[in-house]
């Protein structure tokens, strides 16, 4: 059985929250989706968790 030499756990979160008083449509939404939806669609929050093992 191979011996485990290194074990990594990592994670990240994108678009956790936005601090602003701006009430209009998100200007990044058009760039994110490629088109103007015309209504209050949200950019998704993304969670990532990973494990790397070196033997």
Is the distance from CB of 14 to CB of 43 less than 8 angstroms?
Answer: no
Tens digit of each residue's pLDDT (9 = 90 or more) over 12-52: 999 888 777 877 766 666 655 555 555 556 678 899 999 99
> In the structure encoding, which two tokens stand for residue 49, read together?
């968790």
CA dihedral sign, ordered 13, 14, 17, 18: positive
Say how many Å lie between the first and final Cα of the chain, rounded: 10
**What gap in Å lies between CA 15 and CA 32, rounded to an integer?**
12
Tens digit of each residue's pLDDT (9 = 90 or more) over 3-23: 999 999 999 999 888 777 877
| Whole-number pLDDT of residue 36 | 56
**What gap in Å lies between CA 25 and CA 2, rounded to an integer?**
54
């Amino acid at each position: 059985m191979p011996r485990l030499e290194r074990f990594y756990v990592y994670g990240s979160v994108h678009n956790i929250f936005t601090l602003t008083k701006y009430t209009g449509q998100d200007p990044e939404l058009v760039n994110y989706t490629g088109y103007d939806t015309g209504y209050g669609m949200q950019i998704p929050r993304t969670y990532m968790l990973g494990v790397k093992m070196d033997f």
